[in-house]
A = this chain, B = another copy of it.
Amino acid sequence: MVIGGDAAGMSAASQARRLRGPDELEIVAFERGHFTSYSACGIPYWVGGEVDGPDRLIARTPEEHRTRHIDLRTRTEVTEIDVAGRRVRARDVDSGAASWTSYDKLVIATGARPVRPDLPGADAPGVHGVQTLDDGQALLDTLARARGRRAVVVGAGYIGVEMAEALIHRGYEVTVVNRGREPMSTLDPDMGRLVHKAMEGLGITMVNDTGVTEVRTGGDGRASAVVTADAVYPADVVVLGIGVTPETSLARAAGLPVGGHGGLLTDRAMRVRGHADIWAGGDCVEVLDLVSGQLRHIALGTHANKHGQVIGTNAGGGYATFPGVVGTAVSKVCDLEIARTGLREKDARRVGLEFVAVTIESTSRAGYYPDASPMTVKMLAERRTGKLLGVQIVGREGAGKRVDIAAVALTAGMTVEQMTALDLGYAPPFSPVWDPVLVAARKAARAVEESG
């Protein structure tokens, strides 16, 4: 039995079905919405008009799952898990009818919910999250009816900057109000500063270090402005991009273990701790950060899919594990690419690691090759051991996915000195003769040596 019909849940169901036929394993999946297996990460591009939605964002429809002998029940919300009784209570969202269904093995994939600020007006029409396809459609409806062209995005993380881009594409005048010192708090502030400058260059108004105090509504009851301590920003649409929190209310009520970030706690096989026949994955769990050695909550489709694959294999009688993450993420705002992996300065400090941090400027291609674009790479390495701790990259085309080099090196526990010898692909259209990541590694290796 699977609770939640998106990436983690349906990957688990599909993988279990691949291993065990309908005669061997019955699979029931509950999804409270209309859709299954869709790319929430694609919503900003749908809103921006770059992708036709919502159909193209759906990897597999409920019907397709049913064809593969998965008893998928959409518009059906699970309201209670009875762990001792091995059953869940589910309610038909439309009719309200509810009943108990028994399970032998349970997969919890309830995802995350957007953080809603506790502010006057935050629930007004015209204020939108972008977590589900229904959210995306609602936002597009607001854009279609909006009279003006002023948008305010609250929050400047991945969702915030991607939505800023989407609204720019829609021809909006975009203001981003951000509580942090710089946008992209997943970067160190010095790297976030580069994003800030680039966003301003795109015509986006960045308001940093500023909390929202109220969403003001107009005569029609719809959001009309975002208010801060210092100013009022008129808005024909307000988008909330202030992050998500694990959706674990069901699991908590059932007494399942939840960690400090609000996510379910699992073992390496994605089994909920202390429960041999309950697995959990995707945005509702905490994951091990292999660099810091601590648990984190990261809502990202690529992890959810991997979790689903592992859970489906184990629930299907095989063996697989999810070792953890190194915290890789890429994003873009128009042609600016932003990437990070591993620890920021403050993450390293928090776990007691002393480090060197270096920043270099290089280019995406050989300097003489057309369209070589500038790229800034910041690299952190542990003092004494020289182990790579983290990389942040801001640049144009070709910058973002270079972070994968560092992601693999982090996973392998490489030192920056070892990295200087990496045999990376070189040809003038692809890289300078020293790839920017290698330039950073060389500088970091020298800094480690000098730090003693």
A residues with a Cβ closer than 8 A to B are 7, 39, 41-42, 45, 50-52, 56-57, 158, 162, 300-303, 305-306, 309, 321-323, 325-332, 337, 339, 341, 366, 368-370, 398, 400-405, 407-409, 411-412, 414, 418, 420-431, 433-435, 442
Contact = CB atoms under 8 A, between A and B. Distances in A.
A427 to B, nearest CB: 5
Nearest to A329: B425
Contacts of A366: 39, 41-42
A327 B89 CA distance: 57
A369 B45 contact: yes
B404 A424 contact: yes
Q: What 3 A-B pairs have minimum CB-CB distances, sorted nearest first?
A: A412-B412, A330-B425, A302-B426
Contacts of A412: 408-409, 411-412, 414
Contacts of A405: 404-405, 408
A325 to B, nearest CB: 5
A41 B430 CA distance: 12
A425 B341 CA distance: 8
B401 A325 contact: no
A422 B407 contact: yes
Contacts of A337: 430
Given A369-B51, A370-B50, A305 B433 contact: yes
Contacts of A420: 306, 309
A372 to B, nearest CB: 10
A404 B305 CA distance: 23
Contact of A423 (B341, B398, B430): B341
Given A50-B369, A422-B408, A332 B45 contact: no
A439 to B, nearest CB: 11
Q: So how many copies of this chain end up in the complex?
A: 2
Contacts of A368: 39, 42, 45, 51-52, 56-57
Given A39-B366, A51-B370, A404 B433 contact: no
A326 B403 CA distance: 20
Given A302-B434, A434-B305, A332 B407 contact: no
A56 B339 CA distance: 30
Contacts of A369: 42, 45, 50-51
A414 B327 CA distance: 19
A409 B422 CA distance: 10
- Give the most central of A158, A321, A341, A366: most B CB within 10 Å: A366
A441 to B, nearest CB: 11
18 contacts: A39-B368, A42-B366, A45-B428, A50-B370, A51-B368, A51-B428, A162-B427, A302-B434, A329-B427, A330-B425, A330-B430, A400-B430, A404-B422, A405-B405, A405-B408, A407-B425, A411-B414, A412-B412
Given A42-B366, A305-B434, A433-B7, A339 B428 contact: no
Contacts of A52: 368
Nearest to A300: B426
A423 B328 contact: yes
A341 B424 CA distance: 9
A286 B136 CA distance: 57
Contacts of A398: 401
A323 B420 CA distance: 10
Contacts of A51: 368-370, 428
A256 B368 CA distance: 37
Given A330-B431, A407-B422, A408-B414, 16 more contacts: A7-B433, A41-B428, A51-B368, A51-B369, A51-B428, A301-B433, A302-B424, A303-B423, A329-B425, A341-B423, A400-B430, A401-B401, A404-B422, A408-B422, A411-B412, A411-B422
Contacts of A408: 405, 408-409, 412, 414, 422, 424
B429 A39 contact: no
Nearest to A409: B408
A326 to B, nearest CB: 5
A306 B421 contact: yes
Contacts of A328: 423-426
